[in-house]
Structure 1
Amino acid sequence: MSGNTALDYIQHHLTNLAVGEGYWTFHVDSLIMSFSLGALFCYLFWLGARRATAGVPSGLQNFVELMVEFVDQTTRETFQGKSRLIAPLALTIFCWIFLMNLMDLVPIDLVPSLMYAAGVDYFKILPTVDLNVTFALSISVFFLIIAYSFKGKGAGGFAKELLFHPFGPWLLPFNLILNIIELIAKPISLSLRLFGNMYAAELIFILISLLPWWIQWALGTPWAIFHILVIPLQAFIFMMLTVVYLSMANEHEEH
């Protein structure tokens, strides 16, 4: 790996494998890892469904049924309305982000060292430390919010909400500005919350790896144990906020 100083080491571990220039720069490592983990999620749940039996269930079947029941119950309690998309969407978001976050528990130098030996200078295996990934997820949610706003309120109802809520028709410009800011803030907060928490955790792992080997385990082990709670928590928060935002968008205006 390039560089001999601590700063070089940190920059190396926080640099993506990129191709292209400017706007058309693609982070290849983030794309490979996110699509691979998404495919793994689909395969595991497909395999669990295919091998489902009415007799003694396997461990995979138990896990799949547990996840489906948990997400289904959560969405039923949170989403006010009927939609065949919400529960599968919530399940996909939770499991996909969980798997991506889980890559943070892989030893910090393992994959970069292997890739460097294979001739690849940079390779980050934690997709949620890439703003492009977290923003892509949140922008997808943003478009769904717009779609559900039209679906639940209709074009006229959505326009009325944007123009007349919360201060009435006399402050129409202020209403429009506030509502646009609120809409834009939702995907920004979703993406930055996930990115910020995972980036901070990854950076601490990197800093711990700079310490002498005999103290790395003393600091790294408790941080990894604590991070086991952070990984599903961040996935759950992203899922729950998505369901809440879509529920709010789908609500009919009562007055």
Structure 2
Amino acid sequence: MAAPGEALTPSGYIDHHLANLSLARISEHYDLGWQISETSFWNVHIDSLFFSLFTGLIFLVIFRSIAKKATVGVPGKLQCFVEIVVEFVDQNVKETFHGRNPLIAPLALTIFCWILLMNIMDLVPIDFMPYSAQHLLGIPYLKVVPSADVNITMALALGVFALMIFYSIKVKGFMGFVKELTLHPFNTPIMIPFNLLIEVVSLLAKPLSLGMRLFGNMFAGEVVFILCAAMLPWWLQWMGSLPWAIFHILVILIQAFVFMMLTIVYLSMAHEDADH
């Protein structure tokens, strides 16, 4: 599937599928005259935002529905699945988080389920939704995997980072947080510049690695699906896509789990007081 007027070549096919539906591309495609570049602050990836909100809404609707209809008798299959997920997340929080905060378990559950649903969008056949959007709605570009967009993954990571800073200051106090950055690992005034350099770099590396790890794995998986579709005839595409999709299910689960676990670990570290 290629954009209107574009030759159906492998390189054109790949470029098309790697392009987000952004304000800049809408302006260019429909010749609206908006002066927005791809690197502009005002450029927005509309498809990534839409499918992020869409998957988040699915999570909220399913869990709210199960919570309202939950029974103490013989539960349905969906209720059993939801209970397994909740118990799994709750157990990991109890084993990893050493502070007291009623927000951590719901936050971990939300992160795990939301990222898992965003990742699952990578299993949708690569041409199904973009082809439908182009021919039914006239939408020229469409990427349906929000976690394959670095803007989404880094936004999630920065949200976790903001909570880390907030709880570090709340638990330790502002001066306690400053002392943690300046007097660790070497508790002597002469080493403050060295300590500050190490701790600030370590602190900033947490959200960077958190967001880039998820993005890198999901983007790589999406590229493999695109290459299978671009390089093979339609009647042979399943030979490349099906084995990769089966393996990719493991990647999808692991990446949601890793993001959740690192969030719990980072917030646990933020709740450690000076005595610890």
Given the two structures, how large is their TM-score scaled by the length of structure 1? 0.97
> What's the counterpart of residue 139 of structure 1?
158
2:16 corresponds to which of 12, 16, 31: 12
Percent identity, aligned pairs only?
56
How far residue 218 of structure 1 moved from its aligned partner, in angstroms, is 1.8
> What's the counterpart of residue 30 of structure 1?
48
- Please tell me whether residue 68 in structure 1 is matched to residue 86 in structure 2: yes
How far residue 254 of structure 1 moved from its aligned partner, in angstroms, is 2.8
> What's the counterpart of residue 202 of structure 1?
222
- Please tell me whether residue 46 in structure 1 is matched to residue 67 in structure 2: no
Once residues 229 and 113 of structure 1 are traced to their aligned partners in structure 2, the CA distance between those partners, rounded to angstroms, is 27
> What's the counterpart of residue 205 of structure 2?
185
Once residues 41 and 196 of structure 1 are traced to their aligned partners in structure 2, the CA distance between those partners, rounded to angstroms, is 24
> What's the counterpart of residue 234 of structure 1?
255
CA RMSD of aligned residues (A): 1.1
> What's the counterpart of residue 160 of structure 1?
179
Once residues 79 and 154 of structure 1 are traced to their aligned partners in structure 2, the CA distance between those partners, rounded to angstroms, is 20
Once residues 165 and 195 of structure 1 are traced to their aligned partners in structure 2, the CA distance between those partners, rounded to angstroms, is 31
- Please tell me whether residue 213 in structure 1 is matched to residue 234 in structure 2: yes
Point out 4+ residue stretches in structure 1 off by more than 3 angstroms: none
Q: Secondary structure at the match of 2:173?
A: helix
How far residue 161 of structure 1 moved from its aligned partner, in angstroms, is 0.6
Indicate the larger mover: 60-69 or 124-133.
60-69
Once residues 130 and 68 of structure 1 are traced to their aligned partners in structure 2, the CA distance between those partners, rounded to angstroms, is 27
> What's the counterpart of residue 249 of structure 1?
270
- Aligned residue runs from structure 1 range 73-112, under 5 A: 73-112=91-130
1:130 corresponds to which of 136, 149, 156: 149
> What's the counterpart of residue 31 of structure 2?
none
Once residues 165 and 208 of structure 2 are traced to their aligned partners in structure 1, the CA distance between those partners, rounded to angstroms, is 15
Once residues 195 and 143 of structure 2 are traced to their aligned partners in structure 1, the CA distance between those partners, rounded to angstroms, is 43
Once residues 70 and 171 of structure 2 are traced to their aligned partners in structure 1, the CA distance between those partners, rounded to angstroms, is 36
One-letter identity of the residue aligned with 2:19: T
One-letter identity of the residue aligned with 1:128: S
Once residues 174 and 13 of structure 1 are traced to their aligned partners in structure 2, the CA distance between those partners, rounded to angstroms, is 46
How far residue 213 of structure 1 moved from its aligned partner, in angstroms, is 2.9
Given the two structures, how large is their TM-score scaled by the length of structure 2? 0.90
Once residues 24 and 165 of structure 1 are traced to their aligned partners in structure 2, the CA distance between those partners, rounded to angstroms, is 40
Gaps of 5+ in 2: 25-35
- Please tell me whether residue 121 in structure 1 is matched to residue 146 in structure 2: no
* Structure with greater helix percent: 1
How far residue 7 of structure 1 moved from its aligned partner, in angstroms, is 1.3
Once residues 236 and 185 of structure 1 are traced to their aligned partners in structure 2, the CA distance between those partners, rounded to angstroms, is 19
Count how many residue pairs are aligned between Structure 1 and Structure 2: 255
How far residue 152 of structure 1 moved from its aligned partner, in angstroms, is 2.2
1:130-150 deviation per Cα after TM superposition (whole angstroms, max 9, x unaligned): 111001000000000101111
Once residues 150 and 238 of structure 2 are traced to their aligned partners in structure 1, the CA distance between those partners, rounded to angstroms, is 30
Q: Secondary structure at the match of 1:167?
A: coil
Q: Secondary structure at the match of 2:119?
A: helix
Once residues 34 and 209 of structure 1 are traced to their aligned partners in structure 2, the CA distance between those partners, rounded to angstroms, is 25
One-letter identity of the residue aligned with 2:108: A
Once residues 163 and 93 of structure 1 are traced to their aligned partners in structure 2, the CA distance between those partners, rounded to angstroms, is 32
